[in-house]
Amino acid sequence: MKILVIAEKELKEYILKPGSISWGIIFPLVFTLAFAVRFGDVDHLAPGLMSISILFGTTSFVSSSIIFERRLRTFERLLVAPVKRVEIVGAKILVGTLFGLFVGAVSFLILRLFMAYRVWNPLLLITFMFVSGTAFSGLALWVSLRVENPINAMTWLNLIRLPMIFTSGAIVSLLLFPHWFIVVGLITPMTYAVDGMRYAMLGYYDVINPIYDLLVTVLLSMLFTYLSVEELRRLY
Amino acid sequence: MAEGLTKRYGDFTAVDGINLTVKRGEIYGLLGPNGAGKTTTVRMLTTLTQITSGNAWVNGYSVREEPLLVKRSIGLVPDVSNLYDELTVEENLLFAARLYNAPIERVRELIREFDLPANKKFGKLSSGFKRRTTIAAALVHRPEVLFMDEPTTALDVSSARNVRNLIRLLNKEGITVFITTHNMIDAESLPHRIGIIKEGKIIAEGKGRELKELMGKGMVVKLLVEPITSKLINEIEAYSPTFDEGFIVVTVEDVDEFLEELFDLKMRLGFKVKRISTELPTIEDVFVELTERNGCSCGGCPL
């Protein structure tokens, strides 16, 4: 499987690099700690904070790695080798997801210090962290490949990421908003990650049945993988 | 082999329906000024850029229909290295080997053959070693065709000579080599056959000797005169003069006749002839003659 060969190379290349440390350790540590210290009892907030950490960690990592590789033209090393486009995309998403799991774990370890309850279903939580990571990584890869000037990728990602923090119910529960806003929440990919992780951690959910959360997040991962493969086909 | 190979970016045609055939076991050089379409041609032949129309076959495989088979049988040494700065030389070669399912022993063999510093990070290498490592990485799966885009660009004299020797050696081992260059030393010394590309079209093709014959049986005359006036240039317009570092360069059939005409002009226009030299035409002269025939493109003419 070339996916694993490429993924292993990416891990060797990017691990312990300044970008990885800042997005992988410093960001989730400082961000989570700030909320935890401010609110104390963070049980209801924890899934949202972890989702935000995973969202920003994965998207920043995947986006910057693809931008650098395209600019330095090392990305063409993969394209000129007998590797299918889906394997290249798969490897990028896998590494982004592993990074997301790490970022989520850092965030969780901080939150655990301030949480009153134990995690309701740890295995389901890891599952949701994993599929959220793949969906977010796929989204970042697709956006980063789509923009003409790779530098604009961060601008476009922020245009997507920042509103999602609000519309997904990560910080403020969607149940506190009028009905029409919940509809906005339902078309926000991150809502399913937040809601599913909330169910896995606390045993209850705000808006959507967790089976649908899982299903939609998996479908989004597949959709963004497909779109990224098609984008690669268009570009090269 | 390429048939009607074309690449368009919107309204701009980078490569305009070129046809070319490279024989197995030869070194083929594609020469052209910057922006002529050399790199785009290589990118299409190596599957990195989609072909707009036409097709190409590399090692018998269609670039359009069988890109994975093309990729298995080629190696690419791009003008800017495609290896990873943060990995060591050995890690880079191992990664390449794993991408092509090549045996690990091949990596050790290449490190030994190319005398590479295995444990040094690629980003810390000198330009010469970077190029050698990039060539080694392109050879890890023993490709039958090696594409090299500007193989000696940005190398010092000694490293460039080493790379040229390496290319000859690889070719002797049976690898077909396709190079693009605007370096005239490479063009003069490496290819068995040369194609000259201008504005996306192949305008001449053949062995070096054949291309030189395009210049006629004449000689290249280089003149250093002062001052160079528009009147002087107008008078020698018929010889299609070009300019090279202050020299006026013309190709003439009969040197005596030209010199007589020149001294007649000297008497009439009053310029000083500071130096004259005559040479047989080089590939560079052919290149300049063909690529600048319809107006100078050097941007550095004194007038």
Distance CA B222, CA A140 (A): 59
Q: Which domain holds residue B242?
A: 214-291
pLDDT (mean) for A133-148 = 94
| Residue A78 near residue B87 (C-beta atoms within 8 A) | no
Closest CA relative to residue A214, chosen from A145, A121, A119, A116? A121
Angle value at C-alpha B95, between A88 and B106, nearest 5 degrees = 140
CB within 8 Å: A236 and B48: yes
Over residues A141-156, the mean pLDDT reads 86
Asked if the Cβ–Cβ distance from B47 to A80 is below 8 Å, we say yes
Does any domain span residue B20?
Answer: yes
- Set of chain A residues whose Cβ sits within 8 Å of the Cβ of B50: 236
CB neighbours of A86 closer than 8 A, spacing ≥ 6?
A225, A229
Which residues on A lie below 8 Å from B82 (Cβ)?
A: 73-74, 76-77, 80
Closest CA–CA distance from residue B63 to any residue of chain A (Å):
12
pTM of the model: 0.82
Given CB atoms, is B83 within the 8 Å cutoff of chain A? Answer: yes
Q: Is B278 on the interface with A (CB under 8 A)?
A: no
Q: Is residue B48 part of a domain?
A: yes
CA dist., res. B132 & res. B151, Å (int): 10
Tell me which range, A93-97, A149-153, B251-255, is most confidently predicted by mean pLDDT.
Answer: A93-97
Is the pLDDT confidence value at B119 over 70? yes
Q: Are residues B35 and B142 in the same domain?
A: yes
**Nearest in space to A100 (alpha carbons), one of A62, A144, A74, A71:** A62
Expressed as residue numbers, the domain containing A164 is 2-235
* Chain A residue nearest residue B73, CA to CA: A82
Q: What is the average pLDDT value for chain B, to the nearest integer?
A: 88
3-state secondary structure of A95: helix
Q: Which residues of B touch A73 (CB under 8 A)?
A: 78, 80, 82
Choose the final residue of a domain: B178, B206, B234.
Answer: B206
Residues B174 and B278 in one domain: no
**B301: pLDDT strictly greater than 60:** no
A positions 45-104 inside 8 Å of B (CB):
72-74, 76-84
Looking at the fold, whether B231 and B274 belong to one and the same domain comes out as yes
Higher pLDDT, residue B187 or A137 = A137
**CATH number of the domain where residue B222 is located:** 3.30.70
* Residue A150 CB partners (closer than 8 Å, separation 6+): A66, A67, A70, A71, A144
Q: What is the pLDDT of residues A150-193, one digit of tens each?
A: 678 888 999 999 999 999 999 888 888 888 999 999 999 999 99
Q: Does A184 touch chain B (CB under 8 A)?
A: no
What was the pLDDT predicted at B246?
Answer: 86
Query: Looking at the complex, does the CB of residue B80 fall below 8 Å from at least one CB of chain A?
Result: yes
What pLDDT shows up at residue A218?
97
Residue B302 lies in a domain: no
ipTM above 0.90, yes or no: no
Q: Is residue B152 part of a domain?
A: yes
- Distance between first and last Cα of chain A: 22
Query: In this structure, what token pair is assigned to residue A65?
Result: 């790695």
pLDDT digits (tens, 9 = 90+) for B273-299: 999 988 877 887 788 877 776 544 443
Nearest CA in chain B to A3: B99
Q: What is the mean pLDDT of residues B145-164?
A: 88
B50, part of any domain: yes
Q: Does B161 share its domain with B184?
A: yes
Interface check for A38 against chain B (CB to CB < 8 A): the answer is no
CA distance B150 to chain A (A): 15
Looking at the structure, tell me whether residues B256 and B220 fall in a common domain.
yes
CA distance A206 to A210: 10
Q: Are residues B89 and B51 in the same domain?
A: yes
Q: What is the average pLDDT across A81-109?
A: 95
Q: How far is B65 from chain A (nearest CA, A)?
A: 14
Which domain CATH number covers B169? Answer: 3.40.50.300
Q: Taking residues A53-71, what's their average pLDDT? A: 91
* B119 vs A: CB within 8 A: no
Q: Does residue B298 form part of some domain?
A: no
